Chains A and B, each alone.
Chain A
């Protein structure tokens, strides 16, 4: 028998191994949660205010700085918003290159989360730095982690000029086009990392972590024939299809009674976005080779086990490898296209893409002089906030009911938050949540 504390406080000042800063305070008395505060401790940088009055053409490079890890998602979503507003249709070559740039992001961003943040949990380790180099499996995983990330990194560098805040993509095209031979040279590297990800999938599929919310959740994501993250229409797990431009009207900013923050629901329902939502809704649209290679693992989807977000991300890496190889095979030349010239107009544009962590929405109102009058940005972690916080609460209640020691509760909470792969740098638009 071990002694179980019935009264204790948990204060996590900075939750580790996530993007950005978040903190958590829980007060437990007589084995019941008296207070639970999950706070985003990022300090706001006020981008939605800062873009007002700036030329719309300058906005994409500025808003890329909202987030270091998914900067290219902010770049492409805001480029789309300006282009849709000004009725600029990017060329097929531009779209192919943007997809390749983006698949590079998905590979390196998901790999960062899965290998660096979540993998140590599977081995009961604090950090990837603690993996045992004398254990051949752990040693190989360490090598795989950096090899996979590097290929995603290189794909983004070759196409966009840099993997973070890519300087080359611009409104209507690219400022400087990549060389065909550099792109072609990436295919063998992509094929080299493919078996590594299949091993990673096997590992996450065996993870016994299981947590399902009691309340029903609507899974939401952009859906296209080629599962491209960049095009298509919003599809929900309730069978509803919505055009990109109308997505904002279905999002309900919610003032949570116990919160000073705005979360989001979708048509009044609990909302979840991200890899789990995408695979739940659209597993049939994955690349045929991906479906063939991972078919044993696709049966669990649609899944309500929120830890399956990890497995879904790993499957998406295989899909982006296979899709990138197809796109590279299809490229026979890089046409010397200049960016399409734009004409300023008073307009409104919506850009919507699937960021690694879920749907990213930009609505930009542009004045006749070409400056931004008003901008609305909704990030994935904002949309997942209500589900994430409810999950923490339910998880802690469940663990308290079976006399789980405090240290174990802390560990399980962090593992749970990490499975969402939240991005606090992006999410600094919502401030504080207080549970009563």
Chain B
């Protein structure tokens, strides 16, 4: 049996549109990918048997970072993943999940109690503000062709 590529799929602050695109790409790729990929973490597909982040060859990460807890988790993912790929506009650029960063005074005042109560970060951050990102798949949702090229590259590495 050839060794499978160990991947993780993680979502932070976003609408999870790229997760949906990924599940739609499975429609035509699942036969190949299920043979070659081991889904170490993928909440959309399976319940994890442990809370620990496990070692991975590639971590695909969508969404922006809104809280310290998310930041810690992202750093753990980075530690455990040989490669980290930012998936979609929120992960790559922070937008549109970071729209509150650009709110005017009134809007900011209005959301302040929620930010304080739930310990939001002052500003929403893109992944590369916090960790080293090896590859970017931009787009809202992610650009399918770019994702497929990157997946192909890692599968053949």
Contact = CB atoms under 8 A, between A and B. Distances in A.
Given A17-B45, A146-B30, A150-B27, A71 B111 contact: no
A25 to B, nearest CB: 14
Contacts of A69: 16-17, 20
Contacts, number: 122
Contacts of B107: 46, 49-50, 52
A43 B100 contact: no
A116 B24 contact: no
A318 interface: no
B69 to A, nearest CB: 9
B39 A149 contact: no
A67 B17 CA distance: 7
A187 interface: no
Given A49-B110, A65-B96, A431-B118, A17 B13 contact: no
Interface string B35-66: 00001000111111001000000000000001
Interface in B72-126: 96-97, 99-100, 103, 107, 110-111, 114, 117-118, 120
A167 B46 CA distance: 31
B140 A116 contact: no
B136 interface: no
A19 B13 contact: no
A295 interface: no
A17 B26 contact: no
A165 interface: yes
Given A146-B27, A150-B24, A150-B27, A65 B140 contact: yes
A67 B110 contact: no
Interface string A8-45: 00000110110111000000000000000000001111
B96 A68 contact: no
Nearest to B98: A45
B47 A126 contact: yes
A13 B20 CA distance: 22
B64 to A, nearest CB: 9
B47 A149 contact: no
A116 B51 CA distance: 22
Given A46-B99, A50-B107, A126-B47, 17 more contacts: A17-B47, A20-B11, A43-B12, A43-B70, A43-B120, A46-B100, A46-B107, A50-B99, A65-B17, A68-B15, A71-B15, A112-B20, A142-B30, A146-B26, A146-B27, A150-B28, A165-B140
Interface of B: 11-21, 23-24, 26-28, 30, 34, 39, 43-48, 51, 66-67, 70, 96-97, 99-100, 103, 107, 110-111, 114, 117-118, 120, 140-141
For the complex of A and B, the 6 pairs showing the least CB-CB separation, nearest first, are A68-B17, A127-B46, A150-B27, A43-B66, A16-B47, A68-B16
20 contacts: A42-B13, A43-B12, A45-B13, A45-B14, A46-B111, A49-B103, A50-B96, A62-B96, A65-B15, A65-B140, A68-B15, A68-B18, A108-B24, A116-B23, A127-B46, A129-B45, A146-B28, A150-B27, A165-B17, A431-B114
